[in-house]
Amino acid sequence: MTDQPVVTEREARAVAEQARQSDWTMDSFAKDLYLGEFRPDLVWPRPPDDPEREARGQQFLTDLEAHLRRHIDGARIEAEDRISDLDLSGLIELGVFGIKIPTRYGGLGLSQVHYNRALMLLGTVHPSLGAMVSAHQSIGVPEPVKQFGNEAQKEQYLRRCAEGAISAFLLTEPDVGSDPARLQTSATRTPEGDYLLDGVKLWTTNGVLAELLVVMARVAPHSGGKGGITAFVVEAHAPGITVERRNAFLGLKGLENGVTRFHQVRVPAENVIGAEGRGLKIALTTLNTGRLSIPALCVAASKWSLKIAREWAAERVQWGRPVGRHPAVAHQLAFMATTTYAQEAMVEIAGQLSDSGGADIRIEAALAKLWCSEMAWQVADRLVQIRGGRGYETAASLAARGERAVPAEQVLRDLRINRIFEGASEIMHLLIAREAVDAHLSVAGKLIDPDADLSAKADAAKAAAAFYAGWLPRLVVGPGDSPTGFADLGPLAGHLRYVERTSRRLARSTFYGMARWQGGLEHKQGFLGRIVDIGAELFAMTAVCAHASAHGGRGGPGSPQALANAFCRQSRLRVNSLLRALWVNTDSTDEALAADVLEGRYSWAEAGIIDASEGTGPWIADAAPGPSTTDSVARRYR
């Protein structure tokens, strides 16, 4: 194992803080929600801004669905663990790899909403199709170049991507995950002003077949600049690049995910995206909208799971009636139906906010990713439970003995990665919590900063006194306390009043937590996680009410309003439980116990098993820079 430089917790935090987008220049529904200000006007559905683009988007989805039904066999992808060249060719011809690329660069120029819906279609044929397109267009070359590239880069790379050049995003390394301060891939300046890349990247989704790469590498300080982590567009088949292996996973068969080594790979200076040192900021900003792809795929899996559960529960008879008529199963179906609809509402609303161009959706996108990935897993788990033994049996096995080939177990396997992809749930909690308390840290951060001098603390105290003198009184009463509050927003106004009241209570709880723990709040991850989860539920409730309102009417059995009402009733129970757990929990005893577990004090509880993995290799593979010692497994598909 190569020696990694020692990076302190403070240094790692400083790198992450410098990379985050620190200003708020546009409205953010979720930011206001965490501050106790409920703004349903920011998320209520509006007519499409561009009817012509709306029409083109609907036509594209129609064409895509027809193509997928006729030409792509998800079962074959699963069996062969490969998306064929013919499949890729058909998707290229349809323009799938340029859905959001502007038309002036050869793309389809469609909206985030239509892109999300396209991912849903792709994901239900096979989730690896959705993951491939998402990795290419949400975080691969198109999005960072569109947002931060110069005109020459856009003309060259966006056009190539629209024509079918699949791309990949390379940040993770064998010993670097969510802590980019430890990034080791280097970019060394040459006398000519170009760069030489050296290092190893892990879990490079699309990396095995990509033509273009976005690579994050560390540039050392030099006479021309401070260097820092920098984003590069790199030709995937350039000399010195070796795809050393294609990785295999629990699910997502067909995913071309690999280990990529760079050895003295020359990259022209004009391939820097943005500027030196801006790589992490570019990556995080790209993820603001890129994260919406994960919840879109979760919605697709949940919709399919609901459909199968409904059909099976109506068909399967036990004890004289369909199993869905038994309350134990009915409760599962009710959860699946409401949660699926709420996921769709959250993704649609977040997509509309993104398309509006007038909203900062960094928190909304992160909440959608966190909440949908967690809830979709629960939906799929309930499907497997309702299907019983057939839920655990593979589709191929079911078909072989003459039954409908329902891949319930596959959906469960495929969905599991979404709680890890593009920020594991634990990291998402911390990321969202940081944004949720940003207003507080902006005015009072120096008060709890151990490095701040007395003068800075005095200035912060004055600013905090002024801020809280105006903010805290607003949390006492609001429109949620009025029996007629939000009546103009339809029959679900009662739930919106609950959201407004709870938003103020959440903001008060956040303030109490900051006052109680001050600088220690960052280590109260149980408390912060619950704060985030409450906000996620409140966002989901608002989104589902807004989404249902777009259909009009007061609703009855079978209406969107009825489904939204049922969801909000379930969500309110979860929120009330989370609110209580903010202050009544086992966090401190659990953390003390975990420390003892790590020290080995409870290793006796592990006795009586055989660990076959012992001796098979180190926990983290050696990633020393240098030439590759293996043949490349890179794939060329056109």
Between CA 610 and CA 607 the distance in angstroms is 9
Between CA 465 and CA 435 the distance in angstroms is 21
Q: Closest Cα partner for 628 from 208, 240, 173? A: 240
Between CA 36 and CA 47 the distance in angstroms is 28
Cα separation values, 180 from 19, 56, 186, 208, Å? 10, 40, 13, 23
Between CA 133 and CA 210 the distance in angstroms is 11
User: What is the residue whose two structure tokens read 């050393």?
Assistant: 244
Helices then strands (H, E): number in the chain? 24, 10
Active site residues: 422
Cβ proximity of 446 and 463 under 8 Å: no
Sign for the pseudo-dihedral over CA of 103, 143, 375, 207: positive
How many Cα atoms within 13 Å fall on the side-chain side of residue 437? 25
Angle at 434 between CA 430 and CA 437, to 5 degrees: 135
Report the SS3 class of residue 43. coil
**φ, ψ at 56 (rounded to 5°):** -65, -35
Q: What share of the chain is helix, strand, coil (3-state, %, to 5)?
A: 60, 10, 30
Neighbours of 596 (CB within 10 A): 10
Any residues with CB less than 8 A from the CB of 8 and at least 6 apart, and which? none
607: exposed, middle or buried (Cβ count in 10 Å: 0-12, 13-18, 19+) = exposed
Between CA 258 and CA 529 the distance in angstroms is 32
**φ, ψ at 252 (rounded to 5°):** 50, 50
Between CA 417 and CA 451 the distance in angstroms is 39
Between CA 91 and CA 93 the distance in angstroms is 5
Where do runs of H (alpha helix) occur along 316-393? 327-356, 362-387, 389-392
Gap between the terminal Cα atoms of the chain: 37
**φ, ψ at 278 (rounded to 5°):** -100, 10
Bridge partners (DSSP) of residue 233 are: 214
Residue-by-residue DSSP string for 546-588: HHHHTT-S---TTSHHHHHHHHHHHHHHHHHHHHHHTTSS-HH
Cβ proximity of 202 and 169 under 8 Å: no
Between CA 217 and CA 122 the distance in angstroms is 32
Sign for the pseudo-dihedral over CA of 477, 483, 484, 489: positive
Between CA 330 and CA 336 the distance in angstroms is 10
Cβ proximity of 549 and 45 under 8 Å: yes
Between CA 24 and CA 21 the distance in angstroms is 8
Pair type for strands 272-273 and 167-170: unpaired
